[in-house]
Structure 1
Amino acid sequence: MSIFAYDPFIMFITVITDCRDANAQSRQETRYAELFPGTHVSFVGVSSDIEAAGNLIDVLDGAGEAEGVIAVNVAPRHGRAKEKWPNGTPFGYFWFKKILVVCTIDGETLSLVKKFGLADRVNVTDIREVMLFGGYDESVIEHAATSQFRSFDYLPRLARIVWDKKDAPCDVLPFSDIPDAGPGVWWIDSFGNCKTTLLPNDIQFEEGAKREFVLNGLAIVATCYKQLRSVPDYQTGLIVGSSGYGDKRFVELVVQGTSAAKHYQISQKDTFEITRG
């Protein structure tokens, strides 16, 4: 039993977003703190939807049975996104245990939630409709609907509305319509270890077996080890890492004693093919 008293009214808020410069971070953290007084707000800056997807899994895992809000935002307005949505991807929400996830829905942001089977649908919202439902004035609603910073002007308010009312006007999008996560690197840690989107079953992980990656045209042969400490010095290994949810953990590409990312010139978001050795 913990030596610390447990207050059932304490909750957490974690923001995962590509709006990550110091100004954007401070504004978002302040708004969540204003809407959810007394909560602890954590911030994770990302640069892509697949980075957000992996961090979402890790935060859900870290939260355990606690209650809280996770806000996930990756909303490009260029390229395909500009053609598909007039002002960026819509926002939606879903519940997981006692956790409310409010999020963008386009791209691979929810692909790893789908892979882990943690939800079967996301509720897609319309900004004007939901904010009217939440009792906001027309001028505030219109500003949020046309804002270039919707993760500040709308997403925290969506979280507060749904947290209070448990639901909001929405259209249901089944996770069968969410894209699958392709094989790739979703995060590079401070040691240069590369967290992949793969689970051990995806590669028939077997201690001592060799697997071949084809990454940026380069074939990389790696041996499977259950733990990082088992990888010989300066050798390439595939290990079962710490990130993931429950008993399912992501496979990591490592080079013992140095950075796998630098050694193989790997970037976050790099994709690859893998064959059984």
Structure 2
Amino acid sequence: MTHRPVVALTDCADANAQARQAARIAALFGSTPDILPLSGPDPEGVAALTLLDLLRSVDLTGGPTHPLVVLVNIAPRDGHWPNGAPFCWFEYRGHLVVSSWNQRVLAPLAAHLGVTEVRLTDVREVVEAAAGQWAEFTAEQVEEIVRTQFRSLWYVPLLAHWLVAGHPVPGHPQALAAPPRAEQESPRIAVIDNFGNCKLDVPAAELPGYAEGGTIAVRSRRDDRTVPVRCYDRLPDVPYGEPGFTTGSSGVGFAELVVRGGSAAELFALRQGDRVLSRG
């Protein structure tokens, strides 16, 4: 039995789905996983920032850490793949990540953590290799795993378990590129925290016009007007009750739109996935 702490990000977020996945992961890894449901209007944006934060959070520990397993199930629903996007894997500083092949979710890792390549897997190729070498599956069981649409339950935990155990899992190199410049220049709200702070998906230093004491125009969805919002170094520097842009706690110095003592999301009627900068 391989014991490793497991964190799972998934858009299969109902209690039944979480319970099934938790039971399967616990049986394979011998530890109870932390399952983080992704919901809201833009789960891809939440997944991208959360995955980046998870991998950043294991830095600056002052010593060795326990290697993590991070599972990410957030497939693009664009109809491009016949049975959903394939899954890939990579390692970051000894931590294993198994994820849907979703370029929007993974691209920030190329831009900010230097992850430039993943190993793309084919379900049939992997499960048939396992059945022929290290797993006890009948031909019927192989076919069941290959054909199911519930691959995040039946395939992904197995893939991670086999990789941790050191089995020769077949995979094919796939380059990972940073987000297009157009995306970086038109940032979106990735996460709205429980205080109503709006975490953007770019570093504060990359916001057009960002500088301490400067202002950035925000488009309020509440009344469709443009509001100049001043930039500050930290949240405590923002005057009480007023909005401001600051360098937040997520990503690599990512920007946050805040209201000190209030909710920026409520003030401007913003949601996850909104593009907040006014273009005039």
Residue aligning to 2:33: 41
Between the two proteins, the alignment pairs up a number of residues equal to: 260
The CA deviation at 1:14 is: 0.5
Distance 1:240 1:56 in 2: 19
Indicate yes or no: 2:173 matched with 1:172.
yes
Distance 1:16 1:202 in 2: 27
Q: 1:253 to 1:166 in 2, by over 3 A?
A: farther
Distance 1:267 1:28 in 2: 29
Distance 1:190 1:167 in 2: 43
Q: 1:226 to 1:94 in 2, by over 3 A?
A: same
Distance 2:57 2:103 in 1: 24
Indicate yes or no: 2:257 matched with 1:256.
no
Gaps of 5+ in 2: 60-64
Q: 1:109 to 1:36 in 2, by over 3 A?
A: same
Residue aligning to 1:87: 83
Correspondence for 2:4 among 11, 32, 35: 11
Residue aligning to 1:4: none
Kindly indicate whether the alpha-carbon contact (under 8 Å) linking 1:127 and 1:141 is maintained by their aligned counterparts in 2: no
Kindly indicate whether the alpha-carbon contact (under 8 Å) linking 1:234 and 1:257 is maintained by their aligned counterparts in 2: yes
When structure 1 is superposed on structure 2, of 175-184 and 103-112 the one drifting more is: 175-184
Question: How does the TM-score come out when normalised to structure 1?
Answer: 0.86
Correspondence for 1:265 among 249, 252, 269: 269
Residue aligning to 1:6: none
Distance 1:145 1:170 in 2: 16
Residue aligning to 2:70: 70
The CA deviation at 1:150 is: 1.1
Correspondence for 2:52 among 37, 57, 60: 57
Amino acid at match of 1:227: R
Indicate yes or no: 2:25 matched with 1:32.
yes
The CA deviation at 1:206 is: 2.3
The CA deviation at 1:251 is: 0.7
Amino acid at match of 1:56: L
Amino acid at match of 2:12: C
The CA deviation at 1:164 is: 1.5
Q: 1:263 to 1:167 in 2, by over 3 A?
A: farther
The CA deviation at 1:70 is: 0.3
Q: Which one has a larger percent strand, Structure 1 or Structure 2?
A: 1
Correspondence for 1:199 among 197, 203, 211: 203
Q: 1:193 to 1:215 in 2, by over 3 A?
A: same
Indicate yes or no: 2:229 matched with 1:234.
no
Amino acid at match of 1:44: L
Gaps of 5+ in 1: 1-8
When structure 1 is superposed on structure 2, of 168-177 and 26-35 the one drifting more is: 168-177
The CA deviation at 1:132 is: 1.9
When structure 1 is superposed on structure 2, of 94-103 and 136-145 the one drifting more is: 136-145
Residue aligning to 1:148: 149
| Secondary structure at 1:198 match in 2 | strand
Indicate yes or no: 2:230 matched with 1:223.
yes
What fraction of aligned residue pairs are identical, expressed as a percent?
A: 33
The CA deviation at 1:146 is: 2.0
